[in-house]
Structure 1
Amino acid sequence: MLVTLERAQIIDHAEKLARMVIESDIVETYRHSLYMMRSNKETQRKIRRFVELKERYEEVERFGRYHPDYKTVMMNIRRAKREMDLDEHVANFKRAERDLQNLLDEISMLIGHSVSPNVKVATGNPFFETSHQGGCSVGGSCSCSVS
């Protein structure tokens, strides 16, 4: 494959963008919250408990409500999930993870639309999928341009 000047410039710009992301405050916050979550013993205990109960839940789920321990397992896993989710370190990590994902989604949209406004970029975030380019499922009643 021939390396043209244009391709070399694109690669150079991509590397600069990657460095900017890696050195951003958002990534620093993500790394710090990940470290705090992994290094806190109480947080890790809550995560381990949830994982253990999740394995038990998957076993019980095969039989559904006909399993004799169904209600007990369902109640215990909900409590463990709530306890884990309310943990300060888990909550901070999830917030940082969401912020980083939003940054990456936004960059993907900018890059994709710089190629063409018709490029579809899978972000997994409904916020970025509200442009209605090409119409929607309600026949234009949302005032989008139906193609």
Structure 2
Amino acid sequence: MVTTMTNVDVLQQAYDFGELITSSEIFHKYIDAKVILENDSEAQKLIQQFTELKEKYEEVQRFGKYHPDFSEVTKNVREMKRIVDTNITIAEFKKSENELYQLLVEVSQIIAKAVSPQIKVPTGNPFFDSATSCSGGCGSGGSCGCK
């Protein structure tokens, strides 16, 4: 691969852009929430318990409903997930994590569209994924917005 000054300039601008993101308010909110989460002993205990239950759940899933503890383990995982999700520290962290993720998705879409409208950016959101492209076979004759 031949490196030209244009390539070097693009890479430098990418690093500069990364620094812009890491200096944003959204990123700092995420870091603060992460530090609070890491220092919250109750939240860490809940996460550890949930992780242990997930391991049991994965083991039970190998056999499915035929495993003798299937119902109990499945119920325990759902209950623990609810407890974890309602913990204030964990909820705040997830909220800030989602905001940072959305920022990164938006930036990725802007960059991709600046290069070419045909570039697909996986967003994890079916609305945005379907708005940017058609998976083919919609069968509506283009009324869905396919090109």
* TM, length-normalised to structure 2: 0.86
In the aligned structure 1, how far is the partner of 2:35 from the partner of 2:100? Answer: 15
Aligned to 1:52: 52
Q: Give the gaps of 5 or more residues in structure 2.
A: none
Count of aligned positions: 147
* % same residue: 37
In the aligned structure 2, how far is the partner of 1:60 from the partner of 1:72? Answer: 10
Aligned to 2:113: 113
Greater CA drift, 108-117 or 55-64? 55-64
Q: 1:80 to 1:113 in 2, by over 3 A?
A: same
Q: Give the gaps of 5 or more residues in structure 1.
A: none
The answer to whether the 8 A contact 1:136-1:144 is kept is: no
In the aligned structure 1, how far is the partner of 2:124 from the partner of 2:146? Answer: 23
Q: Which amino acid aligns with 1:46?
A: L
* TM, length-normalised to structure 1: 0.86
Q: 1:34 to 1:11 in 2, by over 3 A?
A: same
The answer to whether the 8 A contact 1:57-1:74 is kept is: yes
Q: 1:137 to 1:90 in 2, by over 3 A?
A: farther
In the aligned structure 2, how far is the partner of 1:124 from the partner of 1:112? Answer: 16
Q: 1:34 to 1:127 in 2, by over 3 A?
A: farther
Q: 1:134 to 1:50 in 2, by over 3 A?
A: closer
For residue 30 of structure 1, report the CA deviation from its aligned partner. 0.8
Superposed, which structure 2 residues align to 1:128-143 within 5 Å?
Answer: 128-133=128-133, 137-140=137-140, 143=143
Q: Aligned-residue CA RMSD in angstroms?
A: 2.1
